[in-house]
Chains A and B, each alone.
Chain A
Amino acid sequence: MSAPDVAEVRQISSWSLTWRVLATLVLVVLLLDGSLRLKDEAWPFAPMSQYAFFPGPDDTVVITRVYGLLSDGERVELPLRAGTAGIRRADVEARIPNFEKDPSLLRAVSDGWSARNPTRPRPVEVFLVQDHTHLVKGRIVSTDEVPLAQWRVTP
């Protein structure tokens, strides 16, 4: 091999080394503090709280959905994903009270879906609903749909 056996090592001053070690410690403290004390608002030092809760065997699993009614009465799902509606289900779920208070916010989903489905007719009305899946002893026993908000689409 033509590569030298002893590679060149770049010099580093003691100050350079010191601030780096201190910066790492600060990073670790910020991350620990974020996960132990702070909330999502502190991102990027937010707690790593994905799935960090404790559903029981008899809980109800809630799934939020939006569907639209076309002028001919056909019902179409507007799937809550970035690629299909421009907004994710979890984003909608985090703002449920806002949607209930002001159903016109459903425009975000309706317009997002229409922009991504230009060949489909626009829904005349959109509905925000939740599927409640009831568990008993860790098994699904029933599902029902709970309406939350509806909005007649305006141009």
Chain B
Amino acid sequence: MSVSGWFAPVRAEARVAVLRSVLYVFVLLDVHLVVRDPISLSRHPALYRPRDFAVLLHLPPPGLPLTWTLYAVLVVGCVVGIAGRAPRIAGWVVAAAFTWWVAIGFSYGKVDHDHLALVVALWLLPTVGAVPGGWSSTRRSAQAGWALKCVQIAVVATYFLSAVVKIKNGGWSLAAWPESYILLWAIVRRPHGLGQFLMPYPGVLHVMQWGSILAELSSVVVLWLRGRALLAAALFWMGFHVFTVALLYIHFAPTVVCWLAFAPLERLRPWWRARHPPLEPPVPIPARAEPARR
């Protein structure tokens, strides 16, 4: 495969259309369930420290008018995006507003690392532009393939780079992190069902840490997998996230939803059609003779 064929493979545009709709629905959920605190945080300017890009772009410090405006823009933008209208304009408005919204949420102390793929997806999926036929489109393009590939890279980078940082922070030692007591530390801080059950078994926790860092390191391979191997990898990572929820109640939902960039979403509409065939056109009713009497 040529270099450009790897970076921008020809893929169904219907996959982009479906993914865009799903992600705009997810953004609405995200602002209510995940990064849900920018409005309340914006009441406390003394705790605000801008992120670098906010400084670079001279973005004003957040206050209630700004965060409420961003919220309104996100709701309207997502509704327009779900409807598939004005995909470029609506898409980039949502991308900019959501990036700012999340950045505000991450400017009062803690930065989470689960939003990278979603932010990349929101910025790049609009580059595909209008998809004629929407979810039913049969058109394919390198434009679609490129945007999807970038989302896939961002998903994988979330795992791979977290392993890189662990190794780097451990003085470039692979064993430093999995041999540490990080999971025990995390469970003490986030006591939760399965985690509390496993607390007395440090050996089991160390095995899980080894499994985790090795999986993160090898996640790059996913970018080259196809068919059943790709499905198996996707199921493995979904299982990984279910496990971290059970263990620590950490969900990474914004990354999980972006795994859909790997899925053949373009088959959704044909699959649905095959199971729900359109009704036969009704037989035209022949004109009846006017009844003899009223």
A138, B202: Cβ atoms closer than 8 Å: yes
User: Which residues of chain A are near B7, meaning CB under 8 Å?
Assistant: 20-21, 24
Bound-state Cα–Cα, A124 to B221, Å: 57
Contact of A35 among B43, B51, B165, B199 (CB under 8 A): B165
Most chain B CB atoms below 10 A, which of A23, A55, A63, A92: A55
Contact code string A1-41 (vs B, CB < 8 Å = 1, else 0): 10110011110100011101101100110011011100011
Q: Chain B residues near A42 (CB, 8 Å)? A: 51-52
- In the complex, the answer to whether A86 meets B40 with C-beta atoms within 8 Å is yes
Q: Which residues of B contact A73 (CB under 8 A)?
A: none
> Do B99 and A12 touch (CB < 8 A)?
no
At the interface with chain A, which of B17-25, B177-185, B281-289? B177-185
CA distance A23 to B154 in the complex (A): 13
B interface vs A, CB < 8 Å?
A: 3-4, 7-8, 10, 12-13, 36-37, 40-41, 43-44, 46-47, 49, 51-53, 99, 102-103, 106, 108-113, 115-116, 119-120, 138-143, 146, 149-150, 153-154, 157-158, 161-162, 164-166, 168-170, 176-177, 180-182, 184-186, 188-189, 199-200, 202, 270, 274
A: residues with CB less than 8 A from B are 1, 3-4, 7-10, 12, 16-18, 20-21, 23-24, 27-28, 31-32, 34-36, 40-44, 46-57, 59, 61, 63, 82-83, 86-88, 90-95, 98, 102, 105, 107-108, 111-112, 115, 133, 135, 138-140
Besides the known contacts A43-B53, A82-B36, 11 further A-B residue pairs in the complex with CB atoms under 8 A apart = A8-B139, A9-B140, A10-B139, A12-B142, A21-B4, A46-B111, A54-B182, A56-B181, A88-B110, A102-B46, A112-B40
